[in-house]
């Protein structure tokens, strides 16, 4: 069971994601954004970075990359699709998740550990965690302020102290089915004591447990 | 044909940049400023003779990519 980790021009967290998934016993492979066939994969991660330079809006150009049609198919099939940071922005732009991400409330690039609370554990990211459980992983973004004027988003992780103005403190949002999740902080940076946290493991383990053979 | 596209964030969506600029203007003594919104203007040069067609094509581009329908409205004006 293998996970495709998509690399857009400007993506910069792809190796961290592969390292984190493989250190947890998973199998992950980098896939260039021009790939049009992901049938060998059982799940996909869109990692953080600055896809296509974040030009126009974050994720606005990336959503038209050739690989995104396959990502959309996988989402429709119920396979696990996870967007981290910039990947979350891409999934919103692609319409696979509700809402959009705008600049942080205080216009500051926030790069620090944040405390999160699990508010819904019926998603591919949170299924191994308990509702109410606290998770501490790094946030690293400028446009992490999630807004959803339709108020239809399903929030699965919430900031304990909303650092960026995100609506209802949302740190991670799922689609109705729970198989597509966007998370703004970085679980892949919380998988080793050396990095200051291992709390990201339970989230990525949830993702790996959601993989079923294609 | 020169086309000017204006992308505006809907009033109900926060504009942190506008809010910060307003605060800076107030700090500089311009207390009469009641609101600041920062929007985006895109200038296109489009090959075409038929104004109505160019207008509708650019509106299509706005719906497809130039504006985010979750947050933004747009206007398209042929300017030359």
The complex's ipTM? Answer: 0.83
Distance CA A46, CA A8 (A): 9
Give residue A14's pLDDT. 97
Q: Would you state the structure tokens that stand for residue A18, as one six-digit string? A: 């592969």
Our CA-based measurement puts residue B65 at a distance from the nearest CA of chain A, in whole angstroms, of 7
Q: Which residues of A does the annotation mark as catalytic?
A: 85, 186, 188
* Residue B47 pLDDT grade (very low, low, confident, very high; cuts 50, 70, 90): very high
pLDDT tens for residues A152-196?
779 999 999 999 999 999 999 999 999 999 999 999 999 999 999
Strands (E), B1-80: 2-9, 40-45, 72-78
Q: Are B68 and A60 inside 8 Å of each other by CB?
A: yes
List, as own/partner pairs, every contact residues A38-41 make where C-beta atoms lie below 8 angstroms and the sequence separation is at least 24, other chains included: A38/A4, A38/A67, A38/A70, A38/A71, A38/A73, A38/A74, A39/A214, A40/A2, A40/A214, A41/A2, A41/A3, A41/A4, A41/A74, A41/A214
Virtual torsion, Cα B11, B15, B21, B25, nearest 10 deg: 30
Mean pLDDT estimate for chain A: 96
Say yes or no to pLDDT of A72 above 80: yes
Distance of CA A109 to the CA centre of its chain: 18
Q: Which of A61, A62, A146 is nearest to A98 (CA)?
A: A146
Task: Tell me the mean pLDDT in the region A113-118.
Answer: 98
Residue of B10, B14, B71 with shortest CB distance to A165 = B14
Could you say which residues from 6 to 65 on chain B have a Cβ atom under 8 Å away from some Cβ of chain A? 10, 12-14, 16-17, 20, 65
Instruction: Answer for the pair B57, B49: CB distance below 8 angstroms, yes or no.
Output: no
Q: Are A145 and B66 inside 8 Å of each other by CB?
A: no
User: For A185, phi and psi rounded to 5 degrees?
Assistant: -70, 170
Chain B hits for A93, Cβ within 8 Å: 68
Distance of CA A22 to the CA centre of its chain: 17
User: Does residue A145 belong to the interface with chain B, where contact is any CB pair within 8 Å?
Assistant: yes
Q: Are B12 and A149 inside 8 Å of each other by CB?
A: yes
CA distances, B9 to each of A140, A156, B27 (Å) = 25, 27, 25
Instruction: Answer for the pair A123, A190: CB distance below 8 angstroms, yes or no.
Output: no
CA distances, A147 to each of A59, A84, A155, B12 (Å) = 15, 17, 12, 11
CA distances, A83 to each of A39, A52, A76, A80, A183 (Å) = 19, 16, 15, 10, 6
Of all residues in chain B, the one with the smallest CA distance to A98 is B70
Say yes or no to pLDDT of B34 above 90: yes
Q: Would you state the structure tokens that stand for residue A11, as one six-digit string? A: 């993506």
Give residue A212's pLDDT. 84
Give residue A129's pLDDT. 98
């Amino acid at each position: 069971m293998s996970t495709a980790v998509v690399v857009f021009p400007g993506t910069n967290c792809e190796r961290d994601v592969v390292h984190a998934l493989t250190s947890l016993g998973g199998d992950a492979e980098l896939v260039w954004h021009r790939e049009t066939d992901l049938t060998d994969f059982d799940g996909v991660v869109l990692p953080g970075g600055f896809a296509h330079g974040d030009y126009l809006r974050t994720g606005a150009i990336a959503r038209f990359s050739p690989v995104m049609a396959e990502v959309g198919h996988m989402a429709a099939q119920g396979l696990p699709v996870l967007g981290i940071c910039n990947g979350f922005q891409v999934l919103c732009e692609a319409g696979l998740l509700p809402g959009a991400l705008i600049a942080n409330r205080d216009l500051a690039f926030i790069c620090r550990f944040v405390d999160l609370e699990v508010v819904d554990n019926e998603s591919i990211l949170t299924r191994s965690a308990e509702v109410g459980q606290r998770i501490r992983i790094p946030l690293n973004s400028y446009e992490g302020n999630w807004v959803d004027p339709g108020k239809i988003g399903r929030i699965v992780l919430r900031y304990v102290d909303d650092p960026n103005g995100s609506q209802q403190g949302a740190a991670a949002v799922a689609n109705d089915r729970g198989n597509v999740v966007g998370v703004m902080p970085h679980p892949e940076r919380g998988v080793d004591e050396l990095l200051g946290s291992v709390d990201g493991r339970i989230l990525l383990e949830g993702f790996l447990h959601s993989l079923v053979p294609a | 044909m020169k086309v000017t596209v204006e992308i505006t964030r809907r009033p109900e969506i926060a504009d942190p940049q506008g809010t910060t600029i307003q605060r800076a203007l107030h700090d500089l003594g311009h207390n009469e400023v009641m609101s600041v919104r920062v929007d985006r203007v895109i200038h296109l040069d489009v090959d075409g003779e038929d104004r109505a067609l160019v207008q509708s094509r650019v509106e299509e581009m706005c719906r497809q990519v130039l504006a985010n329908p979750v947050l933004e409205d747009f206007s398209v004006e042929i300017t030359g």
